[in-house]
Amino acid sequence: MNALIIGGGGDGIGRAVSRAFAAAGAAVAVADLDPERSGEATDELVSSGLRAVALAGDVRSPSAIDGFVSQSVAAFGRLDTLVTVVGGQVAFVPAMRLHEMSDDDWDLAYEMNLRYVVRAARAAIRAFLAQGGGGSIVSVGSVTGVMAAPMQAGYGAAKAGLASLAKTVAAEYAADAIRMNVVACGAIATAAAKSAHVDGEVPEIPMRRLGAPRDAAAAAVYLASPLSSYVTGQSLVVDGGVTVRGPFAV
């Protein structure tokens, strides 16, 4: 399997996804805004005897997105999997109520969580079809796509759109053996979560802990692999039980 991981150089979920795919035997193209991050991630994998290439560019640039896909195909001969990891709200837009959001705030949340994924999926699908069909797209989403997102309206709406996009891609391209699924994450122990002082035991989560980046990465590998060959258009929730919690304390 040859995989392009957009955002695969990040210290949290991105790096965990890159490691997990490489450990599963995939050749990995790690794309990141920061060339140092993508270089560090690939150096780590190559030093372990794995196959990886580093790519750099801004996901807000359509030409960069197209370049990620074309360079991955050139490096490996074909592309089998696209994983999109870049996203979030507080990293781009401060938490605020809807009436406080400007159009620019909303547009940036949309750009970094949905629009670039549309571009990347479009480019990957073209590559898959040119290869004769077959391929998998996995996007890291959020439980805010299926439940309320107070103080993060733009982020939540974009993640809901991501879930809808996966369903549409699944329906349109099933006959071409192209699948798309979403890993809908709850609270994951990334640097952003730790900086918000969300650490240790978390009573609001039934499992009483934050998820580890590897939890999200394992779900992404599953959705990209033949183990999920009959799964498409779905959102696999990885949240420690938050979305199934009852209204009363247990």
Q: How many CB atoms lie within 10 A of CB 63?
A: 10
**Cβ–Cβ under 8 Å, residues 214 and 247:** no
Active site residues: 155
Do you know the residue count of the chain?
250
CA atoms of 85 and 28, how far apart (whole Å): 14
Per-residue buried b or exposed e for 234-250, using 16+ beta carbons within 10 Å of the residue's own CB = bbbbbbbebeeeeeeee
**Cβ–Cβ under 8 Å, residues 159 and 39:** no
CA atoms of 241 and 12, how far apart (whole Å): 21
> Could you tell me the end-to-end alpha-carbon distance of the chain, in angstroms, rounded to an integer?
43
Beta bridge partners of 5: 30, 83
**Can you say how many angstroms the Cα of residue 131 is from the centroid of all Cα atoms in its chain?**
23
DSSP 128-186: HHHTTS-EEEEEEEEGGGTS--TTBHHHHHHHHHHHHHHHHHHHHHGGGTEEEEEEEE-
